[in-house]
Amino acid sequence: MGFLEELKALLPGRVLTHEAALAPYESDALTAYRKRPLAVVLPEGKEEVVAVVRLCHRHGVPFVARGSGTSLSGGSLPVEGGIVLALNRMNRILRLDPKARIAVVEPGVVNLEVSRQAAPFGLYYAPDPSSQPVSTIGGNVAFNSGGAHCLKYGMTANHVLGLEVVTPEGEVVRLGGESLEGVGPDLHGFFVGTEGLLGVAVEITLRLLPKPEAYHTLLAAYRSLEEAGNAVSLVIRRGLLPGAMEIMDRLAIEAAEKAVRAGYPEAEALLIVELEGPKEEVAEEAQVLEEVIRESGAYAVRVAGSEAERQAIWKGRKAAFSAVGRLSPDYLVQDGVVPRSRLGEALREIQRLSQAHGLRVANVFHAGDGNLHPLVLYDGKKPEELERAEALAGEILRLCVRLGGSLTGEHGIGVEKKAYMPEMFAPEDLLAMERVKRALDPKGLANRGKVLPEVVHGG
Amino acid sequence: MEVRASTLGEVVEAVRAYPRLRPKGGGTKPALSAPREGEVGLNLSGLSGILEYTPEEFVFTAWAGTPIAEVEEALRAHGQYLPFHPPLKGKGATLGGTVAAGLSGPLRHRYGGLRDFLLGVRFVDGEGRVVRGGGKVVKNAAGFPFHRLMVGSLGAFGVMVELSFKVFPYPRATRTLRAKMPSLNEALSALERLRLLPLDLLALDLVPPATLELRLGGFPKSLKARLEGLKALLAQGGAQTEVLEEDGAHWEEVRDLRFLEGSPIWVKVPAKPQEVARLEGLPLGPRRYLDGGEVLYAGTGPEGLEALRRAGLPHLVLKGAEDPLYPPPPEAFFTKLKRALDPRGCFPLG
Distance, CA of A250 to CA of B43 (rounded, Å): 56
Which residue in B112, B136, B272 is closest to A158 by CB distance? B112
Question: DSSP secondary-structure letter at A176?
Answer: E
* A244-258 per-position pLDDT tens digit: 999 999 999 999 998
Distance from CA of B113 to the nearest CA of A (A): 8
Q: What letters, b where the CB count within 10 A reaches 16 and e where it falls short, cover A43-58? A: bbebebbbbbbbbbbe
Q: What torsion do the CA atoms of A325, A331, A337, A341 make, to the nearest 10 degrees? A: -70
Q: Is the peptide bond before A43 cis (omega within 30 degrees of 0)?
A: no
Q: Which residues pair with A123 in a beta bridge?
A: A210
Distance, CA of B324 to CA of B316 (rounded, Å): 5
User: Averaged over A138-152, what is the pLDDT?
Assistant: 95
Q: What is the pLDDT of residue B162?
A: 98
Q: Which positions ≥6 away from B90 have C-beta within 8 Å?
A: B69, B252, B255, B256
Shared domain check, A371 and A294:
no
Distance, CA of B157 to CA of B149 (rounded, Å): 8
CB-neighbour burial class of residue A10 (10 A; exposed 0-12, middle 13-18, buried 19+) = middle
Report yes or no on A395 lying in a domain.
yes
Shared domain check, A205 and A218:
no
Chain B residues close to A404, C-beta within 8 Å: 136-137
pLDDT band at A459 (very low <50, low <70, confident <90, very high): very low
Shared domain check, A185 and A100:
yes
Chain B residues close to A187, C-beta within 8 Å: 149, 329-330, 333-334, 337
Shared domain check, A373 and A432:
no
Contact in structure between B25 and B66 (CB atoms under 8 Å): no
Which residue in A181, A233, A435 is closest to B113 by CB distance? A181
Give one DSSP letter per residue of B162-209, joined into a string: EEEEE-EEPPSEEEEEEEE-SSHHHHHHHHHHHHTS----SEEEEETT
User: Averaged over A302-330, what is the pLDDT?
Assistant: 90
Best A149, A181, A338 member to test B by mutation, with max B CBs in 10 Å, is A181
What are the CA-CA distances from residue B342 to residues A415, A435, B177 (Å)?
Answer: 29, 11, 48
* A17-37 per-position pLDDT tens digit: 999 999 999 999 998 899 999
Report yes or no on A323 lying in a domain.
no
Shared domain check, A267 and A225:
yes
Structural domain containing residue A256 = 212-306
Chain B residues close to A237, C-beta within 8 Å: 56
Shared domain check, A371 and A286:
no
Which residue in B149, B222, B327 is closest to A280 by CB distance? B222
Best B52, B108, B138 member to test A by mutation, with max A CBs in 10 Å, is B138
Q: What is the pLDDT of residue A102?
A: 98
pLDDT band at A456 (very low <50, low <70, confident <90, very high): low
Shared domain check, A154 and A108:
yes
CB-neighbour burial class of residue B220 (10 A; exposed 0-12, middle 13-18, buried 19+) = exposed
CB-neighbour burial class of residue B342 (10 A; exposed 0-12, middle 13-18, buried 19+) = buried
Sign of CA dihedral A151, A157, A162, A163: positive
Pairing verdict, β A83-86 and A39-41 = parallel
* B183-196 per-position pLDDT tens digit: 999 999 999 999 99
In B, minimum Cα distance to A170 occurs at: B332
Report yes or no on A317 lying in a domain.
no
Chain B residues close to A163, C-beta within 8 Å: none
Q: Is the peptide bond before A422 cis (omega within 30 degrees of 0)?
A: no
**Regarding predicted confidence, which is higher, A456 or B323?**
B323
User: Averaged over A106-123, what is the pLDDT?
Assistant: 98
Distance, CA of A21 to CA of A13 (rounded, Å): 13
Residue A318 has pLDDT above 90, yes or no: no
Return the amino acid letter for A128: D
Shared domain check, A340 and A446:
no
Give one DSSP letter per residue of A250-277, joined into a string: HHHHHHHHHHH---PPP-SEEEEEEEEE
The reply to whether residue A210 touches residue B197, judged by beta carbons under 8 angstroms, is yes
Phi, psi (rounded to 5 degrees) for A410: -160, -20
Phi, psi (rounded to 5 degrees) for B57: -85, -15
Best A140, A152, A183 member to test B by mutation, with max B CBs in 10 Å, is A183
Contact in structure between A244 and B192 (CB atoms under 8 Å): no
Which residue in B79, B196, B294 is closest to A180 by CB distance? B294
Q: Which positions ≥6 away from A23 have C-beta within 8 Å?
A: none
Edge-to-edge strand ranges of the sheet holding A63-66: A15-16, A39-41, A83-86, A63-66
Q: What is the pLDDT of residue A281?
A: 97
* B283-329 per-position pLDDT tens digit: 999 999 999 999 999 999 999 999 999 999 999 999 999 999 999 99
Residue B178 has pLDDT above 70, yes or no: yes
Q: How many CB atoms lie within 10 A of CB B306?
A: 13
Shared domain check, A197 and A99:
yes
Contact in structure between A412 and A71 (CB atoms under 8 Å): yes
What are the CA-CA distances from residue B107 to residues A414, B98, B248, B255, B290 (Å)?
Answer: 37, 15, 12, 9, 8
Q: What is the pLDDT of residue B174?
A: 98
Report yes or no on A138 lying in a domain.
yes
The reply to whether residue B291 touches residue A180, judged by beta carbons under 8 angstroms, is yes
Residue B239 has pLDDT above 70, yes or no: yes
The reply to whether residue B125 touches residue A369, judged by beta carbons under 8 angstroms, is no
Distance, CA of B165 to CA of B118 (rounded, Å): 5
Q: What is the pLDDT of residue A454?
A: 83
Which CATH number fits the domain that encloses residue A56?
3.30.43.10
What are the CA-CA distances from residue A398 to residues A112, A323, B271 (Å)?
Answer: 33, 27, 44
Q: Which positions ≥6 away from A10 have C-beta within 8 Å?
A: A48, A51, A52, A55
Distance from CA of B145 to the nearest CA of A (A): 6
Contact in structure between B161 and B125 (CB atoms under 8 Å): no
Contact in structure between B99 and B160 (CB atoms under 8 Å): yes
Chain A residues close to B129, C-beta within 8 Å: 428, 431-432
The reply to whether residue B333 touches residue A440, judged by beta carbons under 8 angstroms, is yes
Return the amino acid letter for B213: E
Share of chain B above pLDDT 70, in %: 100
Helix axes A279-295, B220-235, angle to 10 degrees: 170
Distance from CA of A298 to the nearest CA of B (A): 21
Residue A326 has pLDDT above 90, yes or no: no
Distance from CA of A194 to the nearest CA of B (A): 5
The reply to whether residue A186 touches residue B151, judged by beta carbons under 8 angstroms, is yes
Whole-number average pLDDT of chain A:
95
Distance, CA of A153 to CA of A147 (rounded, Å): 10
Report yes or no on A322 lying in a domain.
no
Report yes or no on A407 lying in a domain.
yes
How many structural domains compose chain A? 5
Note the helical H segments in A11-109: 19-22, 46-59
Distance, CA of A432 to CA of A430 (rounded, Å): 5
pLDDT band at A327 (very low <50, low <70, confident <90, very high): confident
Shared domain check, A377 and A294:
no
As a whole number of Å, the CA-based R_g of chain B is 21
* B254-291 per-position pLDDT tens digit: 999 999 999 999 999 999 999 999 999 999 999 999 99
Which residue in B135, B196, B294 is closest to A210 by CB distance? B196
Distance, CA of B63 to CA of B48 (rounded, Å): 5
As a whole number of Å, the CA-based R_g of chain A is 22
Report yes or no on A57 lying in a domain.
yes
Q: What is the pLDDT of residue A458?
A: 42
pLDDT band at A457 (very low <50, low <70, confident <90, very high): very low
Distance from CA of A324 to the nearest CA of B (A): 24
Which CATH number fits the domain that encloses residue A124?
3.30.465.10
Number of Cβ pairs < 8 A linking chain A and chain B = 285
Chain B residues close to A426, C-beta within 8 Å: 132
Distance, CA of A242 to CA of A232 (rounded, Å): 10
**Regarding predicted confidence, which is higher, B274 or A130?**
B274
The reply to whether residue A212 touches residue B291, judged by beta carbons under 8 angstroms, is no
Q: What number is the ipTM of this complex?
A: 0.98
Domains of chain B listed by start with CATH number? 2-169 (3.30.465.10), 173-254 (3.30.70.260), 257-326 (3.30.70.790)
Residue B350 has pLDDT above 90, yes or no: no
Return the amino acid letter for A398: R
Edge-to-edge strand ranges of the sheet holding A93-97: A93-97, A102-105, A200-207, A160-166, A172-176
Which residue in B172, B218, B325 is closest to A184 by CB distance? B325
Give one DSSP letter per residue of B235-277, joined into a string: HTTT-EEEEESS-HHHHHHHHTTGGGTT-SEEEEEE--HHHHH
Contact in structure between A289 and A273 (CB atoms under 8 Å): yes
Q: What angle do CA A100, A182, B100 make, to 5 degrees?
A: 155
Note the helical H segments in A157-273: 187-191, 225-237, 250-260
Shared domain check, A256 and A158:
no
Phi, psi (rounded to 5 degrees) for A304: -70, 125
Note the helical H segments in chain B: 8-17, 30-33, 68-76, 95-101, 108-111, 146-150, 184-195, 220-235, 248-255, 273-280, 302-310, 331-341
What are the CA-CA distances from residue A342 to residues A272, A338, A349, A369, A394 (Å)?
Answer: 19, 6, 11, 11, 18
Shared domain check, A220 and A204:
no
Report yes or no on A312 lying in a domain.
no
- H or E segment and range at residue A40: strand A39-41
Distance from CA of A299 to the nearest CA of B (A): 25
- H or E segment and range at residue A116: helix A111-118
Distance, CA of A338 to CA of A346 (rounded, Å): 7
Helix axes A250-260, A307-327, angle to 10 degrees: 110
The reply to whether residue A432 touches residue B196, judged by beta carbons under 8 angstroms, is no
